[in-house]
Structure 1
Amino acid sequence: MFLATRSHPDFAIGPLFVRATVTPALGTTAVDVLWSLVIPPTKSGADIEQDLFLLWPDEVDELTVRGTPDPELARYVEARGYSVIGDGRLPLHAQSLYRMGREAAPQPIPGGAPFVSFVRQGGPLGLTSPATYVRIPWTPLLANRTWLMRLGMGLPRLVRPRPATWVENVFWGPRYTISLTFNDVRGRALFPLYLENRDRVVRLADEPSQLLINFTHTEHLKIQDVFPGTATRRMSEVLESTQVVSAFLEHAQGATPQVLTVQFGYFTGWQSWAPVLFAALFFVLGNLAGPLLTMLVKRVGGKLSGRIHISPRSVPVERQTGTVVSRETLARIAPGSTTYEEVIRLCGADHEEHEQPLAPDRRLLVYRGRKVVPQRRRRFGWLSTVSRWDVEHHEVEITLERNVVQDVQARVRRTHLAQPGAA
């Protein structure tokens, strides 16, 4: 936010460009503030001659010029209860809009722009975030519409890391957030100064003003999100391998904060292949671990099924496979009188049938079945432990001639097993 020296300034800022440049180093971010003044046609540069001031919601670092700090700035903020954490002078240049060649080089303003960074300590809410108060000395070029003033700053905290899991950091690289603002005086350090000097605020003119962020090395850049949605992304027309994210400033917003936020990250060469490598790794591990896991599940599942039995009944429930012909059913089969149809009705159709080519009138029906009964040791509700499994193998052979039963043979073999499926 710009402030004038005198109250109710009758000039405005326009155009205004706040430009940040982000590199993969992600250290101190270089920020340039470029602007000019819009003076009413009834006024001249001499009529409005005065210093300008800039309230910036962060501390500045490194990008300074030689010169002694301005003690008046330090006394001004200290008189209002702030503590100075840094001071110096920022580079200030004037850039011609129409000169070409060597004449187009920016002209440095001697002495630059003095600044002071400060915080407020103590108070009910504790330490505040740092802020900076910059004095921009008057120069006739401020009133010249063919020149843009450029104030350079180095901001160490403009790019902030975004919280992420270690998996995201390893495979996709760290993610960061950068926010450029204008008229942002919501911080506890800046708001009292704005409230005191709100009659000195220099408004934004009806000129094309923008917030811009230049991202270098776009071949390693991944932008995840941009706010506001009206912001645009494009490749720079003059800077090599640079992507520009920009948002226009609305002069009708008055003193309302306007923000441009970008979530981004720089990745290395192998991280660009992370989705493919990640899928390939899971494919290989799946093929290697699948058989091992299947074998482990079968082994553990077999042991558990052999030692644990679940049943709501107090009497053990037997498991039966195949066809087990009971003694009562066998007693109803009479050789010489029982027919094939009666055997099927009594014993069922789940049987083996053997025929002899040399004796087509004779055939043999074989019924096989298996009973498994758990011998429970301890019982806890529906759950009980099993000491062993009693297994009965039943086999019945029925010989028929001309569809009449001639002979019935029944055999039962009993075994004791630790696992129900072991035999």
Structure 2
Amino acid sequence: MNLYNIKHPDQQVNFAQAVRQGLGKDQGLFFPATIPQLSNIDELLALPLVERSQKILRALIGDEIPADKLNAMVKNAFTFPAPVVKVAENIYALELFHGPTLAFKDFGGRFMAQALATVRGDGKITILTATSGDTGAAVAHAFYGLENIEVVILYPKGKISPLQEKLFCTLGGNIRTVAINADFDACQSLVKQAFDDEELRQAIGLNSANSINISRLLAQVCYYFEAAAQLNTEQRQNLVVSVPSGNFGNLTAGLIAKTLGLPIKRFIASTNANDTVPRYLQTGEWQPNATVATLSNAMDVSRPNNWPRVEELFKRNGWQLSELGSGALNDAETETALKAQYAQGYLCEPHGAIAYQVLKDQLQEGETGLFLCTAHPAKFKESVERILDIELPLPEALDKHNKLPLLSDEMDNDFATLRAYLLK
């Protein structure tokens, strides 16, 4: 598999190099030089999730990883289902929260751990990543206990849900967590500064595990095929997918699936009050505002890292950005949407509620709507219970961590401090 740096197309790497490096020169994102057009879509959709995903990832990655190894990577990563559930007339939910940390990030995090273990080579590796909520847990659990791999996760102090925090800040061992006194964009900026520090990168074998790493992104392509496989032929032909969007990795994966040939009519990027992309699509001007804290904290991102990949796909495929739907909900509208879903018999959480409502508002006659449910409602227990006036039992995966003490360090938004922390 050949990939290039979007900022510097002359910098080209293979899959193993892209997985190990994470980012290219000047924090450029690696992107596949070619994405094949699959001709056997109906045959693929008839296969089980793991077998289908093995074939999709083989088509993307090529022969660089032996077939038996790649098949084992997928089998070890995708050990849980992604069911499609009917919510309303012509509207379905793709539930991506049935993995060990109850969030969609389990697909990408677990596959990346498998990929890095396969291509790592010798020497120490330090995974440095920023999380706005769910990435931290998925990465921490995927890499926990792996030999010679240390994980450092930055998150905005007080700006993720308490249960999200407990899920990845109670492990210890090779997992270090740092609460930064700033917002998620500041955490992301610290990660980028670390990658720009060549001496630091070499000293600790720096790598990243958020959606800038190509292995995570490719893994996420697979569940779009899984969603289509659970719909009938007529529904697939008029499928509109609403993606709750923060860092825009999830939407990028969906667009790669469409490029491969999955019949998705159009996508909708659904955001909260951090609406940089919806405003950009309306005005043509990229004007990020200061990030604001919302009920849907995993989407509290005003400078989405993966947006260059989205634009690259549109440019390469000859698509127009005007074809990409978008919408944004504030917290009051999010609460209303969550209540509407619950009234219809479907229990959701703020991120999925936004994706549902924006989809519902934009779905046209004859179309089938699918929205992504990216986290279990119990991960947002306090807000969901308050909004819906219900009591939510904790799943065992959350309950056992909720009883453990937090092991996080606290740090100001200062790169020199972080650098010293990483080197010690």
TM-score if structure 1 supplies the norm length?
A: 0.21
Max Rg structure: 1
More strand by share: 1
More helix by share: 2
TM-score if structure 2 supplies the norm length?
A: 0.20
Structure having greater relative contact order (Cα 8 Å, sep ≥ 6): 2
